[in-house]
Structure 1
Amino acid sequence: MSVITVKTAPIANQKPGTSGLRKKTRVFQEPGYLENFIQAIWTGIGGTKGKTFVLGGDGRFFNTEAIQIVLRMAAASGAARVIVGQNGLLSTPAASHLIRLHGADGGLVLSASHNPGGPDGDFGVKYNIANGGPAPEGVTAAIHAATEEINVYRILETSDVDLSLCGIAQLGRTEIAIVDPVADYAALMEGIFDFSAIAALFSSGFRIRFDAMHAITGPYAKLILENRLGASKGSVVNAVPLPDFGQGHPDPNPIWAKALVNEMMRPDGPDFGAASDGDGDRNMIMGRGIYVTPSDSLAAMAANAALVPAYANGLAGVARSMPTSLALDRVADKLGIECYETPTGWKYFGNLLDAGRATLCGEESAGTGSDHIREKDGLWAVLFWLNILAARKCSVSELMTDHWQTYGRNYYSRHDYEGIDSGIANDLMQGLREKLSALPDSIVAGLRIIAADEFAYDDPIDGSHSEGQGIRIHFHGGARLVFRLSGTGTVGATLRVYLETVDAQNIHRNPQDALIPLIQAADQLAMIAERTGRKRPTVIT
């Protein structure tokens, strides 16, 4: 067992995005690719000597091999201890919790989140800091700089660590603590929610269907929902994590969780439906006959938070990403609390949570969380909803109707144009930028524009400044368009168009019908069809 130093050279385009570095799996499998990036992480955080890290992944293809490489590199660089999930598995929320629970210096999550897995799918590596949250821009910038200067990496030459049994192993001078990936997270959930009330809900005949999408949350949901809370056996489907997610797409939305949608839309469907994604940090919420958009879910959770034991004393504040619906703002206004608008990316919520400015946070991309960890948390959101329903003794549909009658309905949708040539996508955004100053007071598709800008964010805690976070166009009457390029894909560019309008009277329309004028305005403003050749979005959520 010896440390070897391997000569290397910088590899292009190893810049972390909003959720770490994501590439095709075969790219990560190329000789030295993963090793270069891991060494750059060690350099970017100021070294590993004497530090403790948490390590785990969502079980996607290449997870097992990557875990062993990271362990050997951590040992070679002098880490004191690595806490790793049994068999190399950890959901992202569970990893965040373990970092905080053990006072670790940071952690690595091996996942590409909601992206497909398998040899032809995607892989990713994300570094989380000591508060349990994604690395802020200063840290990712240092990591990126290290990828451009690297000339060697260090790795321990040894056999693989047996991760099949919980316990302590030794890798050189580094202690490897293999832990149950579910137990500590389940205990955290029990301290947040009224498990007795939820169990009583299930014992009353309330039926749930949770689609784990053959991703990481299967074991978590089986233990908590079925074994501890008493949901009927078989309520959790697709519960076994698979390297290729059963050849599915582990993104919890009506497109990729179509089987769940079909089941929930049946007249005799379950009372409650939910799904989670590859690494367990996203959620989809449904009731019989109704799909709840992530933005509406966030707003309803905030409005009913006092029904959950951990939040019974009220919320310090709430926060949403800029493209997320303004429905949350309406709730915050009525509650008399601050609502913060941040760029997309969970790392921007970290400072607000740490400073006690916000308790509940969310993004339109199916991510919701609170100050219990520093990541979004899919199963936590499901339990939050179940706790609310147990307390209010109503259906999902009744709850949302009451919510819209109280606050009005923010009809909202996201149209994704995936795999666009990056040059074309950038030209489209630049074309919009050049129009911004001339847009106010103009009429587009019959709608009057009252304001237009490119969102920038000044962090109220540390004063950091983030520019170029998406183009916003506001219309008379409360409607809004947002355009931005996503940083979570691995091929080409994804143009995301967010559409929103408000109606306090007609609250049961089809959202796509309610948004027709905005859909027309978006195409006219950005010339989407003309520039991209796309007549319709790839995905509508």
Structure 2
Amino acid sequence: MITTVVTAPISGQKPGTSGLRKKTRVFMGRHYLENFVQSVFDVVDAAGKTFVLGGDGRYFNDRAAQVILRMAAANGASRVIVGQGALLSTPAASHLIRLNKTDGGLILSASHNPGGPDEDFGIKFNMPNGGPAPEAVTEAIFRRTMEIAEYRILEAEDVDLSRPGRSRLGGMQVDVVDPVADYAALMESLFDFAAIRALFASGFRMRMDSMCAVTGPYAKEILENRLGAAPGTVANAVPLPDFGGMHPDPNPTWAHALMAEMSGPDAPDFGAASDGDGDRNMVVGRGIYVSPSDSLAVLAANAHLAPGYRAGLKGVARSMPTSAAADRVAESLGIAQYETPTGWKFFGNLLDAGRATLCGEESFGTGSDHVREKDGLWAVLLWLNILAVRRESVAQILAAHFARFGRNYYSRHDFEAIDSARAEALFAALRAALPGLKGRSFAGLTVEAADDFAYSDPVDGSVSEGQGIRILFGKGARAVFRLSGTGTEGATLRLYLERYAAGPEGLDEDPQQALAPVIRAAHEIADIAGHTGRSAPDVVT
């Protein structure tokens, strides 16, 4: 029986760059999840349509999936494809949407944020191309949340999601699928699995930290079962509702156990980590950390070594805060290069139009045109393919890359859980100061230009303004300021720092030392300590 439930708008249901994220208990509150889901179904007109559903397994994932299934049935959806156990990595969900030519999908995740009853939860809608909903759609969903008066839900028993199979929920077909199988087949079509198997057979050792998150089953199946990596290569492989108490953000701060192992006396040859929903990655060599910006550049320079990219790249796109290292590779290849705002949705038009093949952003996200999301395990497999063909270490590959292209020293400093009013005041003061910065010197660096980044989409002509404040010092040195839209508490100030060294000298400095003048200049220009009371970041990557 379909029940129509009277409700009223709930404030604050505005999706950010990666959907709606709040504390789990907020989502568990009366009508909260239902209001948002009904708003999505109203905007996309769910009647007669097919959707993909799954999430990263965090607390409330299983219950939310059952509610969404019953609401989809009540709103007239014809079919929902759901991952077994309500699990799907974000890139795997994107692939299923594209593979099955569905009308979109609902992904339950707060990405790299912690999970648990007192931590974070999230939901976002992905379009039929497999990518995150564009701003026009998320704005329409938000408007609907502010006027909603009722939602529809089917009164029924829970669907058995414990094993693959087909069932009916009211008039709707529910297909429970293996969350890994189709994604693993896609990876096997892109990479030289035989070469990677031979690499592992030669004694090559790896550590993959899945951080008790959704990538565990994917990594176990692909790395250990299909590629022959030693049992136990994948650590923290079982997805847990609270991620085992871990913060599933693959960076040197939160993946500290992996970093310690990779710096130890018996370190493996290669290390990697992925996040809560499987779309981010960190790559580490023996005794050497690879920044996300450098990783994108190395992958672009070597992608032709993998079967899926032997025909060459159409273009390389990066988010504005990401270093310009990939631009130098694109220039050498004679292909297009694009600088977009942060948020994977901005890459979607470029990928759909065939203008770009590889994309990357500063927050440990890398991907290609195989899906319309960033893809952590894909990036790890491309690195493995490159290592298998070149038969060099990560350190050797990086050294050769820097010798050829120069080095873009780069770091991101995160100041987390800042009082929102203080953060906004910092940005208001910084924006007001922009016109007067050119020509002034700070920490020995002279400002050559300063602006608030705006992006004109070359495909559809749309304009996105206010995407981050850039302070350009010349010769490849700059500082970028952004407020993150992926948290659920207070504000996170992200400070991105970059300085270019052309070589051949000065290519092996410690990044924080190499960036020291840029760091001092950025703090002085923005008066970070004065506005926030913080003199040092919470996280350095």
Which TM-score tier does this pair reach, normalised by the shorter chain? over 0.9
Which residue of the partner structure matches residue 423 of structure 1? 421
The match for 2:27 is 28
Aligned to 1:539: 539
2: CA distance between counterparts of 1:430 and 1:445?
22
String of CA shifts for 1:155-174, please: whole Å, max 9, x gaps.
00111001111110100000
1:3 corresponds to 2:2: yes
Q: Distance in 2 between matches of 1:212 and 1:395?
A: 22
SS at match of 1:304: helix
Gap regions ≥5 residues in structure 1: none
**Is the 1:36–1:147 Cα contact (8 Å) retained in structure 2?**
yes
CA distance in 2, matches of 1:475, 1:313: 38
Q: How does 1:128-277 map to 2 (within 5 A)?
A: 128-277=126-275
> Which of structure 1's runs of 4+ aligned residues deviate more than 3 A?
none
CA distance in 1, matches of 2:185, 2:424: 46
Aligned counterpart, 2:36: 37
Q: Is the 1:9–1:151 Cα contact (8 Å) retained in structure 2?
A: yes
Amino acid at match of 2:337: C
d(CA) in 2 for partners of 1:457, 1:481: 18
Contact 1:420–1:495, Cα closer than 8 Å, also in 2: yes
> Deviations for 1:95-129, whole angstroms, at most 9, x for unmatched residues?
00000000000000000000000111100001000
Partner in structure 2 of residue 122 of structure 1? 120
Deviations 1:396-442, CA, capped at 9 Å, x for gaps: 00000000111111110001111111111111011111111111111
**Partner Cα distance (1:464, 1:108) in 2:** 25
Counterpart residue identity of residue 497, structure 1: L
| Matched-pair contact (CA < 8 Å) for 1:285–1:292 | yes
RMSD after superposition? 0.6
- Distance in 2 (CA, whole Å) between partners of 1:466 and 1:303 is 30
Paired residue type of 1:499? L
Residue identity matched to 1:381: A
Q: Which residue does the alignment assign to 1:79? A: 77
Residue aligned with 1:142, SS = helix
Structure 1 contact 288–396 (Cα < 8 Å) conserved: yes
Tell me, what secondary structure is at the counterpart of 1:209? Answer: strand
For residues 163-220 of structure 1, give each alpha carbon's deviation from its aligned partner in whole angstroms, at most 9, with x where no partner exists. 1111101000000000000000000000000000000000000000000000000000
8 Å contact from structure 1 (residues 267, 288) kept in 2? no
Cα distance in structure 2, aligned partners of 1:466 and 1:147: 23
Report the counterpart of residue 58 of structure 1 in structure 2. 56
Work out the CA distance in 2 between the residues paired with 1:206 and 1:407.
28
Q: 1:360 & 1:24 partners in 2: Cα distance?
A: 33
User: How many angstroms apart in 2 are the aligned matches of 1:536 and 1:120?
Assistant: 27
- Deviation of residue 267 (structure 1)? 2.9
Which secondary structure state, in structure 2, belongs to the residue aligned with residue 306 of structure 1? helix
Instruction: Using the TM superposition, give the Cα deviation of residue 528 of structure 1 relative to its aligned residue in structure 2, in angstroms.
Output: 0.3
Query: In structure 2, the residue corresponding to 1:75 is in which secondary structure?
Result: helix
Q: Could you say which residue in structure 2 is the equivalent of 1:508?
A: 508
State the TM-score, normalizing by the size of structure 1.
0.99
Counterpart-to-counterpart distance in 2, 1:205 and 1:53:
43
> For residues 285 and 446 of structure 1, what CA distance do their matches in structure 2 show?
33
The one-letter code of the counterpart of 1:518 is V
AA partner of residue 155 (structure 1): I
For normalisation by structure 2, the TM-score amounts to 0.99
| Correspondence for 1:474 among 469, 472, 479 | 472
Aligned partner of 1:365: which letter? Answer: S
What's the secondary structure of 1:239's corresponding residue? coil
Any conservation in 2 of the 1:267–1:289 contact (CA below 8 Å)? no
Mapped to 2, the partners of 1:266 and 1:509 lie a distance apart of 21
Identity fraction in percent? 68
* Residues 333-372 of structure 1: pairs in structure 2 closer than 5 A: 333-372=331-370
Partner residue, 1:414? 412
Q: 1:46-81, CA deviations, whole angstroms, 9 ceiling, x for partnerless residues?
A: x10000000000000000100000000000000000
Which residue in 2 is equivalent to 1:529? Answer: 529
> What do residues 318-361 of structure 1 show as CA deviations (whole Å, max 9, x unaligned)?
10000001111111111111110000000000000000000000
Distance in 2 of aligned mates of 1:10 and 1:462? 33
The one-character-per-residue Cα deviations of 1:470-489 (angstroms, maximum 9, x if unpaired) are 00111122101000100000
Matched residues in 2 for 1:164 and 1:419: separation?
38
Q: Which moved more, 1:531-540 or 1:271-280?
A: 531-540
Write the mapping of 1:415-494 to structure 2, written as runs, cut at 5 A.
Answer: 415-494=413-492
What is the CA–CA distance in structure 2 between the aligned matches of 1:535 and 1:380, rounded to whole Å?
37
Q: Could you tell me which amino acid in structure 2 is paired with residue 341 of structure 1?
A: E
Indicate yes or no: 2:19 matched with 1:15: no
> In the aligned structure 1, how far is the partner of 2:418 from the partner of 2:250?
22
What secondary structure does 2:154 align onto? strand
Secondary structure of 1:241's aligned partner: coil
Is contact 1:450–1:475 with CA below 8 Å preserved after alignment?
A: yes
The DSSP-based 3-state class of the residue aligned with 2:370 is coil
Distance 1:305 1:380 in 2: 12
For the 8 Å contact 1:35–1:153, the answer to whether it is kept is yes
* C-alpha displacement of 1:507: 1.1
Q: Which residue of 2 aligns with 1:99?
A: 97
Q: Helix, strand or coil: the match of 1:416?
A: strand
Letter in 1 for 2:524: Q
Question: How far is the alpha carbon of 1:535 from its aligned partner?
Answer: 1.6
Secondary structure at the counterpart of residue 447 of structure 2: strand
Number of corresponding residues = 539
Offset from partner CA, 1:449-473 (integer Å, 9 cap, x none): 1111100111111111111100011
Partner of 1:391: 389
Q: Which amino acid aligns with 1:104?
A: T
In 1, Cα distance between equivalents of 2:416 and 2:41: 33
Tell me which amino acid in the other structure corresponds to 1:78: G
Q: Look up the SS of the partner of 2:448 in the other structure.
A: strand
Which residue identity does 1:14 align to in structure 2? Q
Amino acid corresponding to residue 532 of structure 1 in structure 2? T
Which residue number in structure 2 is paired with residue 305 of structure 1?
A: 303
Distance 2:452 2:63 in 1: 42
Shift, 1:43, TM fit: 1.5
Quick check: 1:58–1:111 contact (8 Å CA) kept in 2? Answer: yes
- Pairing 1:293–2:321 present: no
